Amino acid sequence: MVEGAPAVALSYSAGVPLEDEAGIGALTLGGYLREVTQRYGPREAAVLREGDQIERWTYDDLWARSVAVARSLIACGVGKGTRVGVLMTNRLEFLSAVFGTALAGGVATTISTFFTASELDEVLRTSGCSVLLFERSVLKKDFAAILGELEPALASAQPGSLLSTRYPFLRWLAAVGNAEHGAIESWDEFLARGAAVPPAMVDAAAAAVAPSDPGALFFSSGSTGKAKGILSAHRGPCLQLWRWPAWYCFDGPPPRVWSSNGFFFSGNFCQAFGSALTNGGSLVLQRWFDAEEALHLMAVERASMLLAWPHQWAQLEAAPNYATADLSAMRYLDASTPIAQ
């Protein structure tokens, strides 16, 4: 401070009061999903292509699938603050698992599929998850087998009755893909548990959640040490979700956003969901990054925006179909990226 200069009050924030900021909607994750569904119901919200199989969800579908997950979680005893692990790639069930957890009042605890067995063990122990919703097979990883090695009691326990000194809060596990017997249910078996829970219970649970309540537990990558958990109130990620369209200055049709960057990391989650869902666009999903397949997906799904890290740009340029892929639908691009040249 210059001697003799008048004292000035310092602030870490600037801008208009939140209540005066344009474009801000509900500040809980469940409220966010409800609001975008009311706006864009029959529009496509997400698509996943795998070989000849194509699955598309509208916003109405996403809402219905998320409510189904919420009903099952309530049947499993999930309430306000209960931590629900979501160990999945960028697939449709990731969306319904995270938003379903929010609607049930729980804390979506997103877990990287990149983690090694020891890293997964650390995150499960420190997060205190009561429920784990996971993808059985990711590339060469069999997470059911990995979990069974970490906790052998999974093989003999029944769903909901796991008593583990290693994971003392974990009771329920459900797998997308083939499930083992024992404590791990199939996805269909898990969803069937919610049949006796009326949808009104989901509405009541979601209405009881405040923006200041814990809403998401994201973990760092662990690349510079142990993975670190960052607990966020609903308000934090929701503000980012609502603000992305203004930050990107979208000036045309709602974006069709391709990304294979794991939604289990907070930045990827907010950037992709905020860019696509807040504006009535669609997520073009890829479970893991493959450059040639990514270019094919961008072309056939007419992606207008892509979210890629620098190392992925190099792989995209080196892919055999880079020069021939029809990317004419691209509209929202960083001018410095190769595709924009």
Segment 141-180, tens digit of pLDDT: 999 999 999 999 999 999 999 999 999 999 999 999 887 7
* Residue listed under structure tokens 């097979």: 137
Residues 296 and 173 in one domain: no
Query: What are phi and psi for residue 233, nearest 5 degrees?
Result: -70, 160
Q: Which of 233, 265, 289 is the last residue of a domain?
A: 233
Does residue 301 surpass a pLDDT of 50? yes
Which residue segment(s) compose the domain that 280 sits in? 19-25+237-340
Decide if 71 is inside a domain: yes
CB 188 within 8 A of CB 202: no
How many distinct structural domains can be found in the chain? Answer: 2
Confidence of residue 6 (pLDDT cuts 50, 70, 90): low
* Judgement on whether residues 105 and 160 belong to the same structural domain of the protein: yes
pLDDT score, position 226: 83
238-250 pLDDT, tens per residue? 999 999 998 888 9
Model pLDDT, residue 1: 43
| 159: alpha, beta or left? (left if phi > 0; alpha if psi -120 to 50) | beta
Domain assignment present for 258: yes
Question: What is the arithmetic mean of pLDDT over 251-275?
Answer: 94
Q: Would 310 be classed as within a structural domain?
A: yes
97 and 222 share one domain = yes
Based on the fold, state whether residues 197 and 257 are members of the same structural domain. Answer: no
Domain of 305: which CATH number? Answer: 3.40.50.980
In a domain, 152, yes or no: yes
Q: How confident is the model at residue 232 (pLDDT cuts 50, 70, 90)?
A: very high
Asked if 246 and 139 count as a contact pair (C-beta separation under 8 A), the reply is no
- Are residues 186 and 65 part of one domain? yes
Distance of CA 338 to the CA centre of its chain: 27
Final residue of a structural domain among 200, 233, 266: 233
Decide if 6 is inside a domain: no
Do 118 and 68 share a structural domain? Answer: yes
Q: Single out the residue in 183, 199, 233 at which a domain terminates.
A: 233
**Cα separation, 309 vs 314, whole angstroms:** 9
Q: Residue 3 falls within a domain, yes or no?
A: no
> Both 103 and 200 in a single domain?
yes
Is 266 contained in some domain? yes
Per-residue pLDDT reduced to its tens digit, 51-102: 889 999 999 999 999 999 999 999 999 999 999 999 999 999 999 999 999 9
Q: What is the pLDDT of residue 310?
A: 86
The three state secondary structure string of the chain is CCCCCCCCCCCCCCCCCHHHCCCCCCCCHHHHHHHHHHHHCCCEEEEEEECCEEEEEEHHHHHHHHHHHHHHHHHCCCCCCCEEEEECCCCHHHHHHHHHHHHHCCEEEECCCCCCHHHHHHHHHHHCCCEEEEECEECCEEHHHHHHHHCHHHHCCCCCCCCCCCCCCCCEEEEECCCCCCCEEEHHHHHHHHHHCCHHHHHHHHHCCCCCCEEEEEECCCCCCCCCEEEEECHHHHHHHHHHHHHHCCCCCCCEEEECCCCCCHHHHHHHHHHHCCCCCEEEECCCCCHHHHHHHHHHCCCCEECCCHHHHHHHHHCCCCCCCCCCCCCECCCCCHHHC
Inter-residue contact 71 to 203 (CB < 8 Å): no
Cβ(234)–Cβ(29) below 8 Å:
yes
Residues 225, 267, single domain; the answer is no
- The reply to whether 8 falls in a domain is no
* 129 and 77 co-located in one domain: yes
Whether 9 has a pLDDT exceeding 80, the answer reads: no
Angle at the Cα of 311 from the Cα atoms of 307 and 314, rounded to 5 degrees: 95
Are both 97 and 229 inside the same structural domain? yes
Residues 224 and 246 in one domain: no
Q: Indicate whether 182 pLDDT > 50.
A: yes
143: number of CA atoms within 13 Å, CB side? 30
Residues 220 and 246 in one domain: no
Torsion angle (degrees, nearest 10) of CA 261, 232, 57, 136: 60
Amino acid identity, residue 286? Q
Q: What is the pTM of this model?
A: 0.93
For 58, other C-beta atoms within 10 Å of its C-beta total 17
